[in-house]
Structures are given as structure tokens and as C-alpha cells.
Amino acid sequence: MQEQETVVKNEARATLKFARISARKVKIVADLIRGKDVDEALAIVKYTPKASSEIIEKLLKSAIANAENNHDMKHENLYVAEIYANQGPTLKRIRPAAKGSAVRIRKRTSHITIVLRDDK
């Protein structure tokens, strides 16, 4: 049998649960910064005119702070290794519609996770 060596890289993560925005909207901005250097990712998020940009920017800053303070990683070496948005629970509301009927409104939520790694 052949042994496989697993190289464990330092990683820091930040998670936001129950964000009141749909995962579909978050994924648009998440795809822009995946694999990028953290400074470049912050610049992209800051100037992207999307609803999820503000949320992702705050979460990215939190992940950077976690990396520096909890894992002793250098800011210059960090990059966005993973970023994903999963669907959270949906809040169901009812709105009156024509002829006395009702329409269901689905207020979607999402769970967003950012994983930063050292590029050593």
C-alpha cells in the first residue's frame, strides 16, 4: 500500500449564518474573488455594485482578522482559498392578491463561509 502525505496548510475561516440575502445573489460576487489575494479581493468587493458586496466585505475583513490574531498568519501571504454560499432557511410570508386570494412570499437566507490560506 502506498502512503499519502497530506500537507496541512494554515487556514482561517469566517462564517456568517442566516444572512438575509439569497445565496444566488451572493454567489455572483463570491465567484469574482475566489482564488484572489486578500487585498485584491477587498478592492474588488469594495467597488462591485451588488447587494452582497457589503456583506462579503465585512466577512472578508473578519476572516483576515481571524487569520492574523488567532492563527498568526501574515496579511501579505493570505489568499481566498474557498468562498461559498449555501441556502439557509426560507422565511415564508403571505401577501394579499387579487380576488381574495393570497400569494406566498419567500424571503430567502444564506450561510456564507470564507476560508483564507497562506500561500507559502
- Single-letter amino acid code for the residue at 21: I
The mean pLDDT value of the chain amounts to 91
pLDDT score at 66:
93
Q: What is the CA radius of gyration of the chain?
A: 18
Q: Which amino acid makes up residue 38?
A: V
Residue 6 scores a pLDDT above 70? no
Where do the structural domains in the chain lie, given as residue ranges?
11-118
pTM, two decimal places: 0.86
CA distance 110 to 99: 34
- 35-68 in b/e form (b: 16+ CB < 10 A) is ebebeebbebbeebeeebbebbbebbebbbebbe
Q: Is 120 in contact with 22 (CB distance < 8 Å)?
A: no
- pLDDT band for position 119 (cuts 50, 70, 90): confident
pLDDT band at 3 (very low <50, low <70, confident <90, very high): low
The one-letter amino acid code at 34 reads R
Q: Which CATH class is domain 11-118?
A: alpha beta
Q: Has residue 5 got a pLDDT over 70? A: no
Is the model's pLDDT at 90 over the cut of 80? yes
